[in-house]
């Protein structure tokens, strides 16, 4: 298992309102937000300069999800209705492709994230509730590709973001935690306890075997203040240090003032193995 050195940073800015994820192309940061002004922004490496901005109005989607950047294409998952919206890195819109998602255990179709696997060029996403497979789609049409499904040997709950690497790995950002109903039932001893595993899960794409796991300490119930969001993989210079994996989580301000976002970037001692 590679050694990871964490570089945590806390942001409280315009883009952190209901922040949904971060990704990088190696030069700039791409961030999505789902507050009163939903959309995607591109920021400089130190987050000091807004370089470009694209609105994604509620007339397009009821929820803006995580962002990924692969091969110069920015892809963002949308819900209500479920679709993938893509941009060039200057945030000029390219397309909106509907994605048919099955209704999940909670009765709601979810599309929290999407990312392109550079090995085959296909778009992937998964169920939000206890995902046990990553489902493939043609990125230009949204047509399912069941022949390219990746079956996971361990299910992952509340997958909020993911990124594929050229070495054949996929990293999943999971906000696994008890629901409020589960939490109350556990406290009243009406349910057996269930371990919660918020953090980063890494799977081998070819075999579906989980090969690494990094637990992230976030606050649970009550109240539901912190929520793991998106994840990006790619080299980024942070104050002279090259980091490789970037996880964001939202710190919600329940007084409806501006939220904060924690970005945990990781320096990996053997980045060629990512």
Token pair listed for 146: 């069941």
What is the pTM assigned to this prediction?
0.92
Nearest to 89 by CA among 161, 46, 26: 26
Question: What does the alpha-carbon distance between residue 65 and residue 175 come to, in Å, rounded to a whole number?
Answer: 14
Question: Bridge-partner residues for 173, per DSSP?
Answer: 161, 200
Query: Per-residue pLDDT for the chain (274 aa), expressed as one digit of tens each?
Result: 678 999 999 999 999 999 999 999 999 999 999 998 999 999 999 999 999 999 999 999 999 999 999 999 999 999 999 999 999 999 998 999 999 887 777 777 889 999 999 999 999 999 998 899 999 999 999 999 999 999 999 999 899 999 999 999 999 999 987 666 666 676 777 877 666 678 999 999 999 999 999 999 887 655 668 899 999 999 999 999 999 999 999 998 766 567 999 999 999 998 888 8
Q: Are 41 and 58 in contact (CB under 8 A)?
A: no
Ordered by where they begin, the domains of the chain are: 4-273 (2.40.128.630)
């Amino acid at each position: 298992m590679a050694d990871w050195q964490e570089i945590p940073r806390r942001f409280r800015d315009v883009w952190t309102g209901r922040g949904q994820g971060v990704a990088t192309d190696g030069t700039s940061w791409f961030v999505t937000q789902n507050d009163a002004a939903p959309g995607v922004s591109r920021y400089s490496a130190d987050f000091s300069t807004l370089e470009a901005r694209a609105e994604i109005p509620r007339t397009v989607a009821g929820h803006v999800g995580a962002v990924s950047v692969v091969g110069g294409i920015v892809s963002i998952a949308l819900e209500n209705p479920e679709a993938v919206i893509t941009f060039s890195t200057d945030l000029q819109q390219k397309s909106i492709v509907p994605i048919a998602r099955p209704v999940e255990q909670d009765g709601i179709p979810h599309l929290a994230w999407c990312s392109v696997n550079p090995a085959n060029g296909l778009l992937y996403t998964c169920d939000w509730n206890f995902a046990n497979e990553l489902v493939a789609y043609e990125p230009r049409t949204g047509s399912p590709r069941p022949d390219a499904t990746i079956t996971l040997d361990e299910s992952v709950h509340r997958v909020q973001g993911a990124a594929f690497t050229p070495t054949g790995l996929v990293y999943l950002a999971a906000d696994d935690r008890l629901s409020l109903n589960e939490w109350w039932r556990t406290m009243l001893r009406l349910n057996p306890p269930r371990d919660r595993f918020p953090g980063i899960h890494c799977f081998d794409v070819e075999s579906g075997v989980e090969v690494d796991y990094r637990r992230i300490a976030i606050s649970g119930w009550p109240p539901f203040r912190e929520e793991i969001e998106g994840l990006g993989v790619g080299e980024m210079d942070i104050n002279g240090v090259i980091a490789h994996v970037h996880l964001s989580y939202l710190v919600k301000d329940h007084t409806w003032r501006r939220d904060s976002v924690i970005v945990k970037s990781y320096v990996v001692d053997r980045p060629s193995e990512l």
